[in-house]
Amino acid sequence: MALAFFSLAIFLFLSLDSDYFTSSVSAAAGSPGVQVTYGSVIKLMHEKTKFRLHSHDVPYGSGSGQQSVTGFPNVDDANSYWVVHPVADTSVKQGDTIQSGTVIRLQHMKTRKWLHSHLHASPISGNLEVSCYGGETQSDTGDNWKLEIEGKANIWRQDQKFRLQHVDTGAYLHSHDKKYQRIAGGQQEVCGVKEKGRDNVWLAAEGVYLPVSDGKAESS
Per-residue pLDDT of the chain (220 residues; tens, 9 = 90+): 444 444 444 544 444 444 334 333 323 334 568 999 999 999 999 999 999 999 999 998 887 889 999 999 999 999 999 999 999 777 899 999 999 999 999 999 999 999 999 999 999 999 999 999 999 999 999 999 999 999 999 999 998 999 999 999 999 999 998 888 776 678 999 999 999 999 999 999 999 999 885 555 566 6
Task: Label the pairing between strands 67-72 and 52-59.
Answer: antiparallel
Q: What is the pTM of this model?
A: 0.85
Tally of CA atoms within 13 A in the half-sphere of 181 that contains its CB:
2
Q: How far apart are CA 54 and CA 193, in angstroms?
A: 18
182 contact partners, CB below 8 Å, separation of at least 6:
none
Q: Which candidate, 210, 80, 89, places its Cα nearest to that of 156?
A: 210
> So where are the chain's domains?
3-208
CATH of 3-208, one of 3.90.25.10, 2.60.40.10, 2.80.10.50, 3.90.1150.10: 2.80.10.50
